[in-house]
Amino acid sequence: MNYPPPKDIRHLNPVFLLGGHDLEMIEIRKILDELNIRYFDNNLLWGAGLSAYKNVLDDEQSFIGIELTKDIPLPKHYIEVDHHNENAHKLSCIEQISELLDLKLNRWQQLVAANDRGYIPAMVASGATEEEISNIRKADREAQGVTEEDERLAEESVRNHQQIISDVKVIFSLTNEFSPISDLVYPTEKLIIYNEHSLVYYGSNAQRLLSSFNHYVEEGRVYQGRGPNGYFGITESVLKLYTDQRLLINMIIKIVHHEP
């Protein structure tokens, strides 16, 4: 069972376990550094599991795992911080951390939270300027490890490898980093970006797709975030089950349109 969090958990001397790197995770790490709170950061990719830290776990200390799939038994005193899949109704992780530590987020951190919780529309709703949005998105891509070459390949993917299937824009990505592509084509109501390693649907009814693949959720083979109309992703382990990726794309489009 998860250890129920009190209002300010610092008196418990918790050990934080950081998940995959993005701008939000980098900002959380900065907060922990400023407060001199102990943490482990294994420089993970998004979707990593708690097993990445199995060598430091025990049943004596209090642990706070951030965006880590539960792929091994939980330690006795464990708090899960996440806002994806079954936790999609919760605040962003940096907002949850601020509540656990009884902190007030500054302007930049508030926009980081909005970006992670609801992408560009959430930042707009928070009153962000175009410059602030551009800076947040650029910083987020950099935190995810997006390189100049990834940016170039994203432009080529959009220019030469996109099509419309039904009313869904479908783009084959020449890079494994999808964020520069989604940024380039924003706003798009229904978007699929894919390659041989991953497929992500962005747009209306994204959360609904989770129930169609719920047997893969606990295994970390599918994921969903940013609310009902956010994104839904499928990992390489599921893609390998389909010999023709076009069949998978068409199946997802049918689900999006509430078709049997």
> Is 192 found in the same domain as 234?
yes
Q: With H, G, I as helix, E, B as strand and everything else as coil, classify residue 91.
A: coil
Beta strands, E only, the chain:
15-17, 39-40, 62-66, 77-81, 162-165, 168-172, 190-194, 198-203, 222-225, 231-235
In a domain, 116, yes or no: yes
Q: What range does the domain containing 181 cover? A: 148-256
Q: Of 57, 92, 125, which one is at a domain's C-terminal end?
A: 125
Provide the whole-model pTM.
0.86
pLDDT of residue 4: 45
In a domain, 92, yes or no: yes
In a domain, 187, yes or no: yes
> Is 170 found in the same domain as 230?
yes
Q: Of 125, 157, 180, which one is at a domain's C-terminal end?
A: 125
Residues of the chain with pLDDT below 70 are 1-7, 260
In a domain, 159, yes or no: yes
In a domain, 143, yes or no: no
Which amino acid belongs to residue 224? Q
For residue 168, the domain's CATH number is: 3.10.310
In a domain, 134, yes or no: no
Count Cβ neighbours within 10 Å for each residue of 114-134 and write b for 16 or more, e otherwise. bbbbbbbebbeebebeeebbe
pLDDT of residue 227: 83
In a domain, 221, yes or no: yes
> Is 227 found in the same domain as 120?
no
In a domain, 89, yes or no: yes
What tens digit of pLDDT does each residue of 181-197 get? Answer: 999 999 999 999 999 99
pLDDT of residue 219: 76
Q: What is the tally of structural domains in the chain? A: 2
Contact 111, 118 (CB under 8 A): no
